[in-house]
Amino acid sequence: MASIYQFSCPKCGYQAQVAGGGDGLMAGAIHTVTCSACHSLSDALVWLAETNQQQQPTCARCHSDAVTDWNAGDGCPRCGATMTRNETSFIIAD
Ligand SMILES: [Zn+2]
Ligand SMILES: [Zn+2]
């Protein structure tokens, strides 16, 4: 299970529903990444439980591997402003 939060950018209005850091699923470990190809946030699988192996994170949206770790408090992938985390969280049960 993982907790997913709604993040929004006060400057450009970009919104994303991501973990905002590292989290775990039954399938493995995820980490939020920012993609320099499509400028969006997504949660990428970074470790696979099935094979017990590290996994190259890729963007969930465009499948590019030009991604870097993103944590709550980091800048918006579109304009760089600090994104705010909505208090509402979603529990993803897998
Ligand atoms: Zn922005
Ligand atoms: Zn992308």
Tens digits of residue pLDDT in 18-74: 999 999 888 899 999 999 999 999 999 999 999 999 999 999 999 999 999 999 999
CA-wise closest residue to 69 among 24, 38, 92, 36: 36
The answer to whether residues 36 and 42 touch, using CB atoms and an 8 Å cutoff, is no
Cα–ligand 1 centroid distance for 9 (angstroms): 5
pLDDT at 92 over 80: no
pTM equals 0.88
Q: Where are the domains of the chain?
A: 2-92
What number is the average pLDDT over the span 5-26?
94
Cα–ligand 2 centroid distance for 92 (angstroms): 22
Cα–ligand 1 centroid distance for 15 (angstroms): 8
pLDDT at 10 over 90: yes
